[in-house]
Structure 1
Amino acid sequence: MLVCLDPGHGGSDLGAISNGIYEKDITLKLAQKVKDNLTRKYVVDVLLTREKDEDVSLKDRADMANKAKANFFLSLHVNAGKGEGYEDYIYNSLSVTSKTAALREIVHSVLANFYAGYRCMDRGMKKANYYVLRETDMSAVLCENLFVDSAYDEKLLKDEAFIENLSRAYVEAIAMALNLSKKSSTLYAVQVGAYSSIIYASRVANDLKAKGYDAVIKEIPNL
């Protein structure tokens, strides 16, 4: 399975710009993180249409994916125009396959749910005559991640932790859409509290167990 990730813009093509934020930088950083996390967790190969800040034409991006016979093409972008939130696109043609539509629905569902946790607007699933959607031979989706000229969105785009979490959301979306096999099991731990007394700690743990959750008490140094 080969996924082609397309970090939008690059080189002399800055993309959307606002308050020192360049779309080309965000898309490259995001794509690199998605690639690293995806290949670490799943059995999949990932091709980037650009590995650094360089000019790559739209034709070259599509040709690269087609020549490599990628199974899925995902183009990453950041929006502008005084709006807010997330949206994604597939090619606006009757020739778009039901498979492409289905893959996009999965990607949109995962990303929209992720963004909802940050109180970001879901701008919906859309169609457009974008070159990389039209000229790629495989299923292709283009995603617009927030707006550089929205104060709230801009704050998120400048947050390294947010970009990392966004990359993980894309990993989950891609893995679900393509039914990728895991290399190993990955678990996320959520700490609900820290207590100075074992009595209170036990009480919380028992309440969680009664509700069907696993609960583990660990003694940690009081720094």
Structure 2
Amino acid sequence: MKTIILDPGHGGSDPGAAYKGNEEKTFNLLTALKVREYLIDKYEVRILMTRSENKTMSLTERSNYANSTNADFYLSIHHNAGGGTGFESYTFNGSVPAATLTYQTVIHNGFTNEIKKKYPVIDRGKKRANFHVLRETKMPSLLVEILFIDNDKDLSLLNNTGFRNDTAMLIAEGVAKALSLPEKKESPGGQLFKVIAGSFNDRKNAEDRAALLKQKSYDAFITTVVISGKTYYRVQAGAFTDKARAEKLIAELNKEKIEAFILTEGTGNGTAPPPEPPAKDVTILGESLLKAHQLNEFVKTINNGAPLLGEYYIRYGKEYGIRGDIAFGQAIHETNYFRFTGQVKPEQNNFAGLGTTGPGVDGASFKSPEEGVLAHIQHLYAYASKEKLPPSHPLVDPRFSLVNRGSAGYWTQLNGKWAVPGTTYGQSILSVYRRNLAHALAEIEIQKKNIQERLDLLE
């Protein structure tokens, strides 16, 4: 398997080019993460990154790291400045490995020929320069400059998510073609079932989850996805062409008290359709089936220190006509069983991730756990109903007015609307709720058995 190093230029205290509040280091990282995701999802390849967060790294640190890995290719991703416009690429202007110029031609031409079919991008040509990361790296190396951050027309494209995704895809395809990367094999139906054992805003939390999986003898690696400018770190524990094998791994992980879900990708033509949502008739509006104590007892099977919020979810759910027991499952999903391993901290009493709209945005805070639950229920009400709020409580949800009222009648319709990741957000909530139901049912069976034994003693 070939190894590729992606190097998002600048970072940390070095912003690179800056213009109208936009910083090159951010565009570099967003593009590199997307290139990485595309290559890992589609090809048999090992991807390493000089940085995967807003981190300061010297040029020497980058080249030393690259040279310590025995990598097959080094790609440095930048965005230009200086009043020009367009795309250009660079190789070292001295002696280079034989494959370097060939790789440059394939990647450069592949990008420019395709991108200008959709966007007004000028080809500034294939160039050579005495850049440190090109001169000091031992493997074939290429540096790309994607448009000009200080050109208003270029900047409007760089702030267009569709353009950035297309750019990353074309660069990734160019890399794959240049290095003859083998495509991942798919099932006859074209589907790949990925087992995701955690998705986090904080990379450190993802690394901790991956370390836990490896400690328990499971494979694990971290992939990234950027949605609405927000980066998520997914911990992938396996990928199968046989769904039964993926489901078996999920069952094993659940026994280890590690929450996981299946991310289905791919069809015969290589596109990724949205997965068929299970229990798609489960509405957000409705009555709770579980009792408060059943919610509290379930969450404590995973986190014995979890706050006792079951009463609030059932009570406010009933007042607003929301299925409070499923809302509790959503809170579990958002907070990782109230362990708060993501962006929100326990003292915020924010159990639904309200207001965590991007990196560095910590979200809303509430004065008490009860108020935090009320805000959560009110936000769900905004999505599920077009009616006025019940007058019994003041509005405490700071984002209520930002919701497209009535746009999500079912839990799975929260996909892409609430703080995601991916297209399985609602399914993940229902998966937690299903486990809560199963736990409650098992407890009821034990109670029934105990009652029957007592009856037998009295006969």
Q: Is the deviation greater in 112-121 or in 134-143?
A: 112-121
Structure 2 unaligned segments of length 5 or more: list them: 187-265, 272-459
- Alignment correspondent of 2:13: 12
Query: In 2, Cα distance between the equivalents of 1:54 and 1:175?
Result: 27
Q: Supply the AA of the counterpart residue of 1:19.
A: K
- Alignment correspondent of 1:183: 184
Q: Supply the AA of the counterpart residue of 1:68.
A: T
Instruction: Compute the displacement of 1:116 (Å).
Output: 1.5
- Count of residues in Structure 1 that have an aligned counterpart in Structure 2: 188
Bigger Cα Rg: 2
Instruction: Compute the displacement of 1:127 (Å).
Output: 0.4
Verify: 1:79 aligned to 2:90, yes or no: no
Q: Deviations over 1:149-183 (max 9, x none)?
A: 11111000001111111111111101000000000
Q: Deviations over 1:163-210 (max 9, x none)?
A: 111111111101000000000466367xxxxxxxxxxxxxxxxxxxxx
Q: Supply the AA of the counterpart residue of 2:105.
A: E
Query: In 2, Cα distance between the equivalents of 1:39 and 1:158?
Result: 24
- Alignment correspondent of 1:217: none
Query: In 2, Cα distance between the equivalents of 1:147 and 1:188?
Result: 32
Q: CA RMSD in A?
A: 1.2
Normalised by the size of structure 1, how large is the TM-score?
A: 0.82
Whether the 8 Å CA contact 1:86–1:115 is kept in 2: the answer is no
Query: In 2, Cα distance between the equivalents of 1:114 and 1:64?
Result: 33
Query: In 2, Cα distance between the equivalents of 1:75 and 1:144?
Result: 9
Q: Supply the AA of the counterpart residue of 2:34.
A: K
After the TM superposition, which segments of 4 or more aligned residues of structure 1 sit over 4 Å from their partners? none
Instruction: Compute the displacement of 1:18 (Å).
Output: 0.9
Q: Supply the AA of the counterpart residue of 1:145.
A: I
Q: Deviations over 1:23-67 (max 9, x none)?
A: 000000111111111001000000010010010110111111110
Bigger relative contact order (CA 8 A; separation at least 6) = 1
- Alignment correspondent of 1:106: 106
Q: Is the deviation greater in 95-104 or in 72-81?
A: 95-104
Whether the 8 Å CA contact 1:91–1:133 is kept in 2: the answer is yes
Normalised by the size of structure 2, how large is the TM-score?
A: 0.40
Q: Supply the AA of the counterpart residue of 2:111.
A: L
Equivalent runs, 1:27-42 vs 2, <5 Å = 27-42=28-43
Whether the 8 Å CA contact 1:115–1:121 is kept in 2: the answer is no
Whether the 8 Å CA contact 1:90–1:142 is kept in 2: the answer is yes
Query: In 2, Cα distance between the equivalents of 1:21 and 1:51?
Result: 19
- Alignment correspondent of 2:163: 162
Equivalent runs, 1:205-220 vs 2, <5 Å = none
Query: In 1, Cα distance between the equivalents of 2:73 and 2:39?
Result: 14
Q: Supply the AA of the counterpart residue of 1:30.
A: T
Query: In 2, Cα distance between the equivalents of 1:157 and 1:53?
Result: 18
Whether the 8 Å CA contact 2:97–2:139 is kept in 1: the answer is no
Query: In 1, Cα distance between the equivalents of 2:152 and 2:171?
Result: 23
